[in-house]
Amino acid sequence: MNDSLLPLPEWAQVLAVFDTETTGIAYDTTRIVTANISVLRADGSVESSLDWLINPGIEIPEQATAVHGITTAHAREHGEDAAGAVYDIVQELQALFDSGIAVVAYNAAYDFSILQREAVRYSHDPLSNPSPIVDPLVIDKQLDRYRKGKRTLEAVSAHYGVSLTSAHTAAADAVAAGHVAQAIAAKYASELSLSALELHNSQIDWAAAQAESFNKYLKDSGKPYQPTSGQWPVR
């Protein structure tokens, strides 16, 4: 039977989505500048959406502004206090997890690791065992591992026929990641016929194996490299 004719797995019927835009890429020093948490219905429409613009308390590097468009001056004038915003983001996500709704984040280890550091920075309790999380990057690599080409959100969205406009805004990227997750769920419905928690736990193993394989590839190539951590969803 064609998987596309099967109903979406239960975890994909209602999905929350989460994305951040930040000041950099290093987990321990990066600050969140914008964030979005939305809830999608089974047809992909947006049921609710929350956005944050945050004053990170540090200069936003030009390279980061070139990606997401937020300048230091704009964040200082219009952004929320970082401590309060981070607290609210953590609380919103925890409420979703407590209700059993899966949260989609593309390359989840990035967003959830940064959020964990931000919570600690402002003396908040970090998310307690954040799960279930759905990471379309990890799942796509697992189910279509030999496909050539980039695995950026833009590239994977195009592969699955998902529209991504206003890329690198938190809301657009979050919703696109949710639509990619639903497209993968439809294409591989039988393979992904798992509970949200079972899928979450599978991704822990898949992410570790993918990192091990990538590290082996880099080592065998003889090029200098920093080993990639396979910890997921928080490094």
Domains (range + CATH), the chain? 7-212 (3.30.420.10)
With 80 as the cut, is the pLDDT of residue 196 above it? yes
Contacts of 229 (CB under 8 A, 6+ apart): 109, 211, 235
- As a whole number of angstroms, the distance between CA 206 and CA 210 comes to 6
- As a whole number of angstroms, the distance between CA 194 and CA 39 comes to 20
pLDDT of residue 166: 84
With 60 as the cut, is the pLDDT of residue 159 above it? yes
With 90 as the cut, is the pLDDT of residue 224 above it? no
pLDDT of residue 1: 41
* 6-21 CB burial, b ≥16 within 10 A, e <16: bebbebbebbbbbbbb
pLDDT in tens, 1-23: 456 567 899 999 999 999 999 99
CB–CB of 15/102 below 8 Å?
yes
With 80 as the cut, is the pLDDT of residue 219 above it? yes
pLDDT of residue 225: 84
Q: How far is CA 65 from the centre of its chain?
A: 20
